[in-house]
Structure 1
Amino acid sequence: MTAAVVAGLLAGYGIAIPVGAVGAHLVAVAARSPWRTGAGAALGIAAADGLYALLAVLGGAALVPLLAPVATPLRWVSAVVLVILAAHSVRAAVHAYRAGPKSTEVPPPAPRRAFLTFLGITVLNPMTVVYFTALVLGGHSTTGATEGSVFVAAAFAASASWQLLLATGGTLLGHLVTGPRGRLTTALASGLLITALALALVV
């Protein structure tokens, strides 16, 4: 049982810690939203990781050949969605900056909407299930139903803890950068970073 917990934690942190376009977008959303919204987005990412870990335990070896033909199109869809979201954020920030202090800011998304949005974005990366499948097939700690369940729960917990850390960092950044110029600068910087990381998915 301990081996399954350790394997799940390592797998969850292994897929979560490398911050890509989704992680950068999480920080950007958290920086201009209440912490609950950032937490909802973070849990959406972790839920997708947990879902793919579950699929890997249930039958990842059979799923990998089915996912291979659609992996590239889904990466393109994910990249396009992320670029659109980045462009929308930059446009909103520029509009708010030009309108001045009397402008009405666009309300942040509700936690539930943030959860579903980030769940959807993360699910578009089927390579996650390939990653978990390789770990499951290469290990010996997930051979039973109980061990498999523990592995999935630990992977979700690891991913959730890291994503919540990113969301908290984004919220703190938002509290530090409160002026119009600071918000515009962070929005432009995050938009460029998200776009670059999104393009890296398909290049």
Structure 2
Amino acid sequence: MTGALAGLALAIPLGPMAILLISTTLKHGRGIGIFGALAMASVDFSYAALVFAFGTAIVNLLTGWVMPLRILGSAILIFVAVKIFMDARRSSKIESPDMSNSTASRLKTYAKFFGLTVLNPATAFYFFGITPSVATLSQGTGLFGIALFAVGVFIGSVVWQMGLVFAAQLTKSFTDVRVQHRIQYAGAILILGLAIGLLLK
């Protein structure tokens, strides 16, 4: 239960990865978006297991790396924002039938979202912030406690991410290409704003 709540608390704020997931679903369809959602939840699961198992050690390790992580994260977000903007500008239509049916593209999407979520500063800082509390919970629970918490985080995260995918697909069904492009532009601008805000904190 605690893990599921932690997963939902992480996933619900509309961060850069959520915006990218919505944009990807609008562009390539629900079939591709689902793999992005699974990748994001998988990273949350991995982070949760590490934090639950090695909480105090992680805090001590990352304390001196907060600013470099902010700079790296900001650079990644700027790159993502520019790519969304340019892709929306270049494409004449949102959906590519070949890509939505390609296993290779689904695996590529999973790998892309997994890598970006690992490097996403919002995810890292969230788990960094909850580490002291989780470390207290983890005392004496053993491997079963670690697995239970991590699975809970995965479930909470994947429920929300899948909700975003289906909401984006529903939006796609009731809007035309121009509106979908504008949503992508707005997402790119929002991610850019988040990147700048990350540096100013």
TM-score, with length taken from structure 1: 0.83
Q: Does 1:182 align with 2:168?
A: no
2:197 aligned with 1:200: yes
Query: Percentage identity across aligned positions?
Result: 27
Corresponding residue to 2:78 among 71, 79, 83: 83
Query: Which of the numbers 15, 18, 23 marks the counterpart of 2:18?
Result: 23
Corresponding residue pairs, total = 192
2:54 and 2:135 in contact (8 A); partners too: no
Write the letter of the residue equivalent to 1:151: F
Is 1:74–2:69 an aligned residue pair?
yes
- Structure 2 unaligned runs (5+)? none
Task: Note if contact 2:138-2:145 (Cα within 8 Å) is conserved in structure 1.
Answer: no
* Helix, strand or coil at the partner of 2:13: coil
Query: Is it true that 1:110 corresponds to 2:105 in the alignment?
Result: yes
Distance 2:14 2:73 in 1: 15
Matched, 1:135 2:133: yes
1:184 Cα deviation from its structure 2 partner? 2.6
Contact 1:32/1:171 (<8 A) preserved:
no
Partner letter of residue 44 of structure 2?
D
In proportion to residue count, which structure has more helix? Answer: 2
Q: Which shows bigger deviation, 78-87 or 160-169?
A: 78-87
1:29-84, Cα deviation, whole Å (9 max, x unpaired)? 11111212111111111111111111012111111111222233223222222222
Cα gap change, 1:140 to 1:68, in 2 (>3 Å): closer
Could you say what secondary structure the match of 2:199 adopts?
A: coil
Q: What does residue 11 of structure 1 align with?
A: 6
After superposition, the CA RMSD in angstroms is: 2.5
**Aligned residue in 2 for 1:3:** none
> Structure 1: where are the runs of 5+ without partners?
1-5
Could you tell me how far apart the structure 2 residues matched to 1:165 and 1:61 are?
33
Deviations 1:79-106 (A, max 9, x none): 2222222212222322335xxx7xx999
Residues in 1 aligned to 2:174 and 2:70: alpha-carbon distance in whole angstroms: 34
